[in-house]
Amino acid sequence: MSEAEKPLRYAADWIARKKQSRRIVVVTAYDAAFARLVARSRVDAILVGDSLSMVVQGHRSTIPVTLDEMIYHAQMVRRGAPDAFVIGDLSFGSFQKNMDQAIESAIRMVKEGGVNAVKMEGAEAHVLDAIRHLTAAGVPVMGHTGLKPQTVMTTGGYRVQGRSETEKKLEDEARALCQAGCFAMIFELVVSAVATRLSKDLPVPVIGIGSGAGTDGQVLVLHDLLGIDDSFQARHVKRYVDLAGLVTGALNEFGDEVRRGDFPGDEHSFS
Ligand code: KIV
């Protein structure tokens, strides 16, 4: 296997990819069935994101999902993708209290969830302390700045970040996350020009979502790119397949065949 084809195994591989100017592709997954499909694709890493609160659990935000639930889903993903690089998101309430709580939650996610790395939103002082402590202890941490969905209650909704009034704060946070030891970070809904400038300048890969094409990689929510929920489409999402339409079509066909008596046929029956 050539150097270029090597899968991401360790945090250091992410930095090496950036040095080689090779973009990193990440998608979310929340269960074994989808993780298995992602693992046989050319996607580089799986994020068990707290978006599962909305996408899988049906909540209106990422606030309700608990750490226990995140770990439960990380375990499913690990079973479906035993060799994948899996990142486990720390949910709201599992790291905001203080550094000790953040470290305990991260270690649980690694030990019980079986993930290769954890992700935390934000760059408050205790989060940076926790990142320093965890990386020194051998737990790779991915940062997350720009839009931070766990703080929308105070920051006023799902707004694009990096415009004049928020650019300095975003840059300070990104640099602090690098200094604390993050091996990579998510930029969510950051103005493209700012995301491109910082991606060129920062020493670790910036994985963008809604942040333009100039970052070191992209992440999308799996259910969004597969078109599983067709009730809403955000500007930054591209639907690569209309799975909602395909599933509805298949279910209707099944229903019609049952009603007509066409299913099961002899080939699906036992004599
Ligand atoms: O939870 C999630 O899916 C995320 C991505 C949007 C980056 O954090």
Q: Catalytic pick from 188, 253, 257, 267?
A: 188
Does pLDDT of 139 surpass 70?
yes
Ligand 1 pocket member 121 (CB < 6 A): no
Which residue is it, tokens 């400038």? Answer: 197
How many percent of the chain have pLDDT more than 90? Answer: 89
Report pLDDT digits (tens) over 234-252.
899 999 999 999 999 999 9
* pLDDT tens digit sequence for 150-196: 987 877 667 777 787 789 999 999 999 999 999 999 999 999 999 99
Going by alpha carbons, the residue nearest to atom 4 of ligand 1 is 49
pLDDT tens for 82-101 read 999 999 999 999 999 999 99
Specify the residue with its C-alpha closest to ligand 1, atom 3: 49
Structural domains in the chain, sorted by start:
3-240 (3.20.20.60), 242-271 (no CATH)
Tell me the pLDDT band of 126, cut-offs 50, 70 and 90: very high
**3 tagged catalytic:** no
Taking residues 37-49, what's their average pLDDT? Answer: 98
pLDDT classification of 4: cutoffs 50, 70, 90:
low
Determine the average pLDDT of the residues in 1-17.
85
The CA distances from residue 174 to 37, 218, 240, in Å, are 32, 17, 30
pLDDT band at 232 (very low <50, low <70, confident <90, very high): confident
pLDDT digits (tens, 9 = 90+) for 184-197: 999 999 999 999 99
How far apart are the CA of 53 and the centre of ligand 1, in A?
11
- Cβ–Cβ under 8 Å, residues 76 and 46: no
Q: Is the CB of 53 under 6 A from ligand 1?
A: no
Computed over every residue of the chain, the mean pLDDT equals 95
Residue 2's pLDDT is what?
Answer: 62
